[in-house]
Structure 1
């Protein structure tokens, strides 16, 4: 995957971090997942703490306002760029189609229903937001889960 702008993550070694030492590396997020994992492995191998295995994303640049969780998986970090194919399309999605960050897609469905429909109190218990969420994902949105109870929602139209 190629990017027209710099999109990167700063990955830190947790073994050194927990011992008061800063050790990490800025990594180009436009690479494929295996190349990113390779750079992380090289950074961990160069750690001043022998046998370092754990890492966290401590910073990021170029993601146009989307937050990247400290413990996001590499697959999740690259998913937005891979989905849209190039940075211009991803930037358009961020600027024009980004709906926000939610705990779940069911929360999106519940909010959307509340904003667009007057539901009598005696019928509220019959609304199935989980099922509505599944339909939204199939038909109307891209959802990227970056961490537990953190989903970023993009409208597909």
Structure 2
């Protein structure tokens, strides 16, 4: 069972003044999620309950799930976050929930996680071998990293202290 869950509430019960719902593992099989919602609705204190809404969620990190998002979306987002961790949630925020863009950024534009932009600039310089070794001491990697970002060549997403994820903008 994952830590990514949704609370699905019965709208008929809610409108009648009752709190009736169930916490569901959002990373489970979609059919199992739908079955749990169906069982919750059938046990509603209000007869003939048919409608539900997602009233709460946990484990989605920075991503904000709407009560109007369907079970499919809640499940797809949960699985993406489970696969990519807090970075997945941040990427989905950055792309306004566009999974194709989020996947493209991670697969094609991701340069890794660094403690700072300066560390990225130093790694980039050393890996390209573009600066002779005897001149490396003269380089201000903090300014270089800042210039990378200000030029629009890269963008960053911070997921924690000393966790800067670097992506190329193109």
Aligned-partner Cα distance in 1 for 2:83–2:93? 17
- Where do 5+ consecutive residues of structure 1 fail to align? 1-7, 12-24, 37-59, 69-75
Q: How many residues align?
A: 107
Aligned-partner Cα distance in 1 for 2:169–2:3? 26
Alignment pair present for 1:101 and 2:113? yes
Aligned to 2:148: 136
Q: How far is 1:65 from its partner?
A: 4.9
Aligned-partner Cα distance in 2 for 1:145–1:67? 13
Alignment pair present for 1:80 and 2:91? yes
> Does the 8 Å contact 1:77/1:146 carry over to 2?
no
Alignment pair present for 1:153 and 2:166? yes
Alignment pair present for 1:10 and 2:23? no
3-state SS, counterpart of residue 119 of structure 1: coil
Q: How far is 1:150 from its partner?
A: 1.0
- Where do 5+ consecutive residues of structure 2 fail to align? 6-24, 27-56, 68-77
Aligned to 1:62: 80
Q: How does 1:17-96 map to 2 (within 5 A)?
A: 27=57, 29=60, 32=64, 61-63=79-81, 65-68=83-86, 78-85=89-96, 86-96=98-108
Considering Cα pairs closer than 8 Å and 6+ residues apart, tell me whether 1 or 2 has the greater RCO: 1
3-state SS, counterpart of residue 145 of structure 2: helix
RMSD: 3.4
Cα 1:127–1:156 shift into 2, 3 Å: same
Length-normalised TM-score, structure 1: 0.54
Aligned-partner Cα distance in 2 for 1:115–1:31? 34
Length-normalised TM-score, structure 2: 0.50
